[in-house]
Amino acid sequence: MEQITITISDGSQRRVNKGTTISDLVKALGKNLADQIVAGRIDGQLVDLNTPLECSVSLDFVTLDSEDGLNILRHGTSHVMAYAVKELFKGVKVSIGPAIEKGFYYDFDYEGSFTPDDLPRIEEKMAELIKRDIPFVREEISKAKAVRLFEEQGETYKVEILKELNDEPISIYRSGDFVDLCRGPHIPSTRKIKAYKLLSIAGAYWRGDERNKMLQRIYGTAFADRGSLEDYLGRIEEAQRRDHRKLGRELDLFSINEEAGAGLVLYHPKGALLRTIIEDFEKKEHLRRGYHIVMGPQILKRELWEKSGHLENYRELMYFTRVEEGEYALKPMNCLAHMLIFKSKIRSYRDLPIRYFELGKVHRHERSGVLHGLLRVREFTQDDAHILCSPDQLNDEIKGIIELVIDFMKVFGFHYDMEISTRPEKSIGTDQDWERATAALLKAIEDKGLPYSINEGEGAFYGPKIDVKLEDALGRYWQCATIQCDFTLPERFDLYYIGKNGEKNRPVMLHRTIIGTLERFIGVLIEHYGGAFPTWLAPVQGILLTITDKNISYAEEVFRSLLDNGIRVEKDFRNEKLGLKVREAQLMKIPYMLVIGNQEEQSSTISPRTRTGEQLRPMKVEEFVSMVKRECLIDREH
């Protein structure tokens, strides 16, 4: 029999008979290895383990502890879930069921309604199917045969998908009585599934189009082992405890009222104060770095948005209104007003760089299905800036922005990753300008010695960008800062400065945010800190708690003194037990509870307790003020 040479990823080689499957080779290498391998990669292409080896190739083994391995495991688990649902709920039609980050989902068309009580039943049925060690069997059939197969089963969604495919042949997978349209690869059999959990139910329009039927989506997750699953479920529980929408209500920070409109935030006093603290910090830091604070109007003429390219590339996210003389648009971005300010007079090379900063409110027409607390809204404020500079200043300016990002992330206690997003399909500008802009970003980030990844095709329509993803206390990543390099809009708006030679020169524009949108950043902060903000950020830094009504007069003096010294303080002078007042203050996550009784009044002191339960020694008001201010300074420095 003809033999072939298989080169394994560790560099070793094996001679096997032609037609030997990857599974046979794996078994020959040992049982411990076989238990962990779920698929193979032949010359870079993922394949099932039962794929025959027909010629000499390079072979990698895909294990459960790899990203590809987990995705394959989760995809197989989604098939088993769909199989279980069809067994339990007659008349169900299936649509799609992919693996996603940290799990999987499957969308179903069912006349009834799935409820959370159904999830344990589905898990039990899945356990039965898994115990049967059902193999996943790949078949390749003609498109016509596949259409007939799914038509006979009444699976109209699969038929619709098939009719749009140009593939020939079509791959399907069978596992027991369940058959699905799928490219694969898949786990060899259901016995590979050892740790899974169904998580939630949601609605989802077929193909994400609200004009289509609403389907029911069941989310789940799967891991290679029970310990990893339990760790993940523990993180989910912690995330639910930290959910900014829940804490926003409990801490009385903000609300979103349907009477006002979806995606529109109502800041309550404490939330508005938190936002003000962040805004004041930002303004001070930007002024210190040579930025000029500017403000632009909320609406601008339609013609400007046509010139900028927003109308062509961003129209579906914009709001429009008519004023006497014509059509206007609510601004979705701040850059146009900043360019008009630059154009308001002749600029010299001596004026550059010019850095305009605005806490600019913008509006975007987000679909209701993607709105999510503070994290996705329709009206929000960006810490937006636009730097206009000469080409030879570009490198220093980009590095200056990167340094500002690093400083801010330290202050708020975030780790972060950086990626460069390149030219998208919908874009404006010349190839040369895109190449110059991308090269400028790459050089600056490499000059700083920072690691980065490439995010192909995700740049802004007018230029490439550096995106900063911050990591919160639960290890989740959030889009934050962005640095966008733009040669195109200065050209479209005919921006120029007078160079050393007395000629007109075209500036380069950097669009940038540091924390991104205030709404999203505040939502992330709430979850990152679990609502227990560091003292410098806490809307209320201390609360005065009286033991008896006799102490109110002295407590009022302390209250006024703390306010005069810039401490954000509240008072609880109710005729209630001290223990109740302390517990309520702890639930509101106030950093310091300041107890005042007869002893404190007689000694002109206060007795601070921390929200973690630590009892501090009695101290003078002036000493407490100094302690808090020193703590705030240390927090901001670290």
Active site residues: 335, 364, 382, 384, 386, 465, 511
- What's the CA gap between 632 and 560, in Å, rounded? 20
The Cα-based distances of 458 to 208, 380, 426, 454, 566 in angstroms read 20, 22, 10, 9, 45
E strands, 85-189, are 93-94, 99-100, 103-109, 137-141, 170-175, 178-181
Both tokens of 314, joined, read: 């961003």
Peptide bond just before 451 cis, omega within 30 deg: no
Residue 364 tokens, joined: 């975007």
Question: Taking Cα atoms as reference points, which of 393, 386, 294 lies closest to residue 350?
Answer: 393
Host H or E run for residue 481: strand 477-486
Long-range pairs for 306-313 at CB < 8 Å and ≥24 separation?
307/492, 307/493, 308/335, 308/336, 308/462, 308/489, 308/492, 308/493, 309/428, 309/461, 309/462, 309/488, 309/489, 309/492, 312/428, 313/426, 313/427, 313/428, 313/461
Q: Hey, what's the torsion of the CAs at 557, 558, 561, 563, to 10 degrees?
A: -110
CA distances from 566 to 213, 560, 633 (A): 56, 10, 14
Query: Cα-atom radius of gyration of the chain, to the nearest Å?
Result: 30
**DSSP calls for 201-252:** EEEEEGGG-TTSPEEEEEEEEEESSHHHHHHHHHHHHHHHHH-HHHHHHHTT
How many Å apart are CA 314 and CA 210, to the nearest integer?
20
Which of 317, 91, 113 lies closest to 217, judged by CA? 113
> Which residue, chain included where needed, has tokens 């699905």?
180
> How many Å apart are CA 37 and CA 73, to the nearest integer?
11
Buried b / exposed e across 511-546, counting CB within 10 Å, b at 16+?
Answer: bbbbbbbbbbbbbbbbbbbbbbbbbbbbbbbbbbbb
Distance between CA atoms of 472 and 485, rounded to whole angstroms? Answer: 27
What residues pair up with 383 in beta bridges, in sequence order?
Answer: 359
